[in-house]
Each structure stands twice: as structure tokens, then as C-alpha cells.
Amino acid sequence: MSGGVPSLLRGLRRGMAKLPGLGMARVPDAPAQPVRDPWPGDPSRGAALMKGEFELAGGTASLRLGGFASLNAPPLLMAALHGFVWLRDLRALGTDGARMRARALVAEWIAAGSTLPPIAERPDVTGSRIAAWLGHYDFFAASADDGFRQRLMARLVADARELAASLPTEELDGRALTAVKGLVAAAVALPDHTAFMARAQKVLPQEIGRQILADGTHCERSPAQQLAVLQDLTEMRSLLQAGQVNPPAVLPMAIEKVGLALRMMRHGDGGLALFNGTRDEAPALIELVLTQAGRTGRAPSALNDGGFHRLQAGRSLLIMDCGPPPPPKLDRFSHAGTLSFELSIGRERLIVNCGAMPAAEQAWRDAARSTAAHSTLIIADTNSAELREQDLGRRPEAVEVSRQEARGAHWLDASHDGWMRPFRAVHRRRLYMSESGEDIRGEDAVEAESGQPFVVRFHLHPNVDANLQQDGEAVLLRLTSGAFWRLRAEGAKITLEESIYLAGPEPRRAEQVVLTGYMDGPQQVNWGIAKVG
């Protein structure tokens, strides 16, 4: 019974918030305080929007005038469409046509009213929409006629009232911070509604305490979400400063910790490691977000609470996922990639995971989330965690890791029990990186009562050229820069197979080195990656 009380109270507050005139200040003619969206848009996406084409995270949808009420797309796409973040892409295009298209789409959305789907009223979607409308008010609304601006402001006030009544939201992940951000934006732009700021100031510290782990990792364990959360937190700090409101003490501390953790998740090219729903993000955007966050110091070598480890020596940088998936209700982006790693040499990526397509159709989402799409070991073609439509079922529970460093060299020893239930098996991975970074060795072992069929995969970045050597015992890898590396293995058959890279704007052909273990032999493969010349 007690678990249902908060949701019951929220329902009552939301119902009261919808009552016309109840404790409602006058709807203003315009925002009292300008709100600025601080992030750059993409003019090419803006041009696509002018044609009615919307693309996000591997998914596409049609966004044409007259089609808002009938939109049908995967949940992530639907949330983005009704959250209006894409207004920044039309702003980046910057033409009068883009301005008029933005205005027409907002007008159509407001007119659709009760025909809109329930996801349009979800707190995070509402918060995103409020921040987007206010952040782009000067772009699409300031020069509009009085009638449009009155309808816009009335809807903003109504949405903000309902949002305040909905918080804290039942969404336990990063979406809750997006909801709070929307309320902070409304509180700054509509200062006559004093309840908005009071509610936001009460809920924000709670969400920070619940979502940000002690080492700064966001609870969803996704580098992409780490970036999104840092964007939301820095936006809220700027909004509060613009409204001359002292931020809660936990906010600047959280920004610093989250920024440090984000730095740890970056490769040498400035992009993010491809774990748990992460795709190629523009390094320029990541740098901008970190700059907005402020000085955050040097990236740590380990996030012990988040479960990520970073081995760096010479020009080599290896990032490995050594943590269990997040608990239920925080695992919407989780992959079955425990103990997978990525390796970059300088600004070039060598070994990667396949990426993610979280807004694509289910078959593509699952393919990218599977263990086989990660640079790790897999037993009997069975995922190390059970993939469900929006979360995980069975998953690794005991993930152990130990680390040592001496004279610039690194040793990492990790294991997980994701296959304990189906096979009574544990995967153990040991890694070594020399002080020069030019000698990387690994051992993958299956600890089980009986022999299991297993393979170890190393997905190569599409820019890597790979050739199986004549003796069949090694693969020669050439980077775009012309540098050569050799991957050798003992205790397994080594082959070169097709792969696919799903982290960019379009899927790209790639290759993977596959080490096939012997079920009736040692349940262990030793391998090494060394620079040639």
C-alpha cells in the first residue's frame, strides 16, 4: 500500500493542476526572463526537417505538417518528436522558411490538444518541450501574431503547472532530470508562478542524490546518458543564475563529478566509448559541454562505483566495462556487453563495440545490444544478459575486478557470472598493457563444470584494414595513419569475419577478428595485440 501512496498523490496533484483558474496567475504575454538554449543545432538535420524527415539515434520518422496526432514511431523517437529539441536544428538552418516551419509545427501541436498520445504528457517529454519552446522563443515566436503567442504562453503555463504536480516523477533514470530542467526553465521565465521554483528546488537535490553515483557516474552507466545528464545539469545552473537564484549546494558539486566521469569515458579522438546505448557524438559538442561545466581536472583511471576502467600508456588507450548492468528501472539502454573493451591508438580507434541504435526498430536495437556485437567473449551464442524490449531480464550479478599498476604498466583481472544460470559458467578476462602501450595481452577463460562452446570477438573500426596472415595464427591490422598492429592468439582458431558499425549516421561495413575456442580442449584463449615496427 505504501508504494502506491506517492503515485496516488501525484495523480491528485496532476488532476488539480488541470483545473482551470485554480491558484493560477495571469498568463503573461511573453516570457519575463529570456531563456537561451545553449547547444548548437545541425543545419543538415534542419534541412531534412524542412522536407519532413526526422532522424535520431538510428531511427527515422516523418514529421510533416498535419501529421502530429498520427505519429507512430519507437518510444525514443516519439519522446524526441514531442519534446521539440529538434527546434535547435531549424534554428541552426536559420532561414525564414525554417522559422515559419518551426512556428507552424508548434501551432499544430498546440491545436492537436487531446488527440496527442500519452507520451506527449510524460514528465520528461513535457520538461524537454518547455525548455525547447522557451529556449527558442526569440527564434520562432517573438515575431508571431498575438494570437499565436497567447496560445503558446497559455500552453506553457498549463504544462508547467502539470509538470510541477508530477514531480518527483516515477521515471527513475535520467529522464527525471530533464523533467526538473523544464520546470526550472518555466520558473525562470514565469517568475509570477512562485510554486514552480519552490518545487524545482525541492526535487532537484533529491534527483541528484539518487542518480549520481559517488564517483560521478550516472546511474544508467551509459556514456551517452552521462553527456546528456551533464548538459541538463549545466543548463539548470545557467538558468538559476539567469534568474538570480542560488543553486542548491549539490548542483555545482554534481557538475564537477559528472564532468570528470565523462572525461574518463572519452577516446583519443574526443568521442565517447560505445557502451550501453552510446553512438558517435561530435567531439566538438562534448568539448563544449565540458567547457560549460567548467574546470573538472584530469580523467580518473577508474570509476569504481560506475564500473569502468581506463588503461592508458604511450598512445594506447583501453576502456573496459567492468561493472554489472544497472538495476531494473535504470536499464533502458543497457547492453549485454559486460567485460567488453575498446582500444584507440592516438586519435584512431582500433577495437570497438558495434555501437547502438536505440531509436531504431526492435530487431536493430537488439542486434546492437547483443553480446556478439561487443568485443568480448560469448558462450553458446547466448547473451550474457537477457534482452527485453525496454530493459534486461537475467543479467550478470557478481562482477568482480582488481587492478594493479607498476612502472607505467597495467594489469586488470575481471569476471562476471552472467552465464551462471544457463551454463553454470563464469567468464574471466585478464588484461595487461605495457608501459609503452605497444604490447597488450589478454586471457579469456570460461570457468565451468563442463566444456562450453565459446568465441571471443574483436570488432574493428571501419577505418581499420585487416588481413589474416598466411600461417593463420595472426591478423595484421593497419590504421589510416599507416601504423601496423598484429593480433595473435593461442588456444583458439582465428578467423576474420564481417561485422557492422552502427554508431554513425549510417551503418558501415566493418570486420571482426573471431577466436573460436575448443569445447573439448582448454577453456581458455591467450591473445596479444602488439605494434609492428
Report the 3 state secondary structure along 29-80.
CCCCCCCCCCCCCCHHHHHHHHCCEEEECCEEEECCCCCHHHCCCCHHHHHH
**Whole-prediction pTM value?**
0.93
Q: Please report, in tens digits, the pLDDT of each residue of the chain (533 residues total).
A: 345 555 555 555 555 455 555 445 678 889 998 999 999 999 999 999 999 999 998 888 888 887 777 788 888 999 999 999 999 999 999 999 999 999 999 999 999 988 899 999 999 999 999 999 999 999 999 999 999 999 999 999 999 999 999 999 888 899 999 999 999 999 999 999 999 999 999 999 999 999 999 999 999 999 999 999 999 999 999 999 999 999 999 999 999 999 999 999 999 999 999 999 999 988 999 999 999 999 767 889 999 999 999 999 999 999 999 999 999 999 999 999 999 999 999 999 999 999 999 999 999 999 999 999 999 999 999 999 999 998 999 999 999 999 999 999 999 999 999 999 999 999 999 999 999 999 999 999 999 989 999 999 999 999 999 999 988 889 999 999 999 999 999 999 999 999 999 999 999 999 999 999 988 878 999 999 999 98
205 in a domain, yes or no? yes
Q: How far apart are CA 511 and CA 350, in angstroms?
A: 11
Q: Based on the structure, what is the number of domains in the chain?
A: 2
365 in a domain, yes or no? yes
Of 149, 183, 211, the position where a domain reaches its end is: 211
Burial class of 446 by CB neighbour count within 10 A (0 to 12, 13 to 18, 19+): buried
Shared-domain flag, residues 376 and 479: yes
Whether 133 and 149 have beta carbons less than 8 Å apart is answered as: no
Shared-domain flag, residues 339 and 455: yes
Q: How far apart are CA 246 and CA 516, in angstroms?
A: 59
68 in a domain, yes or no? yes
Shared-domain flag, residues 195 and 62: yes
pLDDT at residue number 14: 54
Q: How far apart are CA 329 and CA 340, in angstroms?
A: 23
Q: If you search the block for the grid coordinates 585487416, which residue do you land on?
A: 466
pLDDT at residue number 69: 72
Rg (CA), the chain: 25
Q: What is the CATH number of the domain that holds 349?
A: 2.70.98.70
Q: In this structure, which amino acid lies at residue 17?
A: A
pLDDT at residue number 159: 96
Shared-domain flag, residues 382 and 523: yes
267 in a domain, yes or no? no
270 in a domain, yes or no? no
Shared-domain flag, residues 400 and 509: yes
Q: How far is CA 430 from CA 316, 463, 525, in A?
A: 17, 27, 11
Q: How far apart are CA 184 and CA 305, in angstroms?
A: 29
For residues 76-90, one letter each, b for 16 or more C-beta atoms within 10 angstroms of the residue's C-beta and e for the rest, the string is bbbbbbbbbbbbbbb
Shared-domain flag, residues 191 and 309: no
E strands, 70-229, are: none
128 in a domain, yes or no? yes
pLDDT at residue number 4: 59
Q: In this structure, which amino acid lies at residue 375?
A: S
Phi, psi of 452 (to 5 degrees): -125, 145
Q: Which domain range does residue 492 map to?
A: 303-532
Question: For 512, which DSSP code?
Answer: E
Shared-domain flag, residues 202 and 307: no
278 in a domain, yes or no? no
Of 166, 193, 211, the position where a domain reaches its end is: 211
216 in a domain, yes or no? no
Range 517-522 contact pairs with CB under 8 angstroms and sequence separation of 24 or more: 517/446, 517/453, 517/454, 517/455, 517/456, 517/491, 517/492, 518/491, 518/492, 518/493, 519/451, 519/452, 519/453, 519/454, 520/451, 521/451, 521/491, 522/491
pLDDT at residue number 23: 46
Shared-domain flag, residues 402 and 521: yes
**End-to-end alpha-carbon separation of the chain, Å?**
68
Of 182, 211, 240, the position where a domain reaches its end is: 211
pLDDT at residue number 1: 37
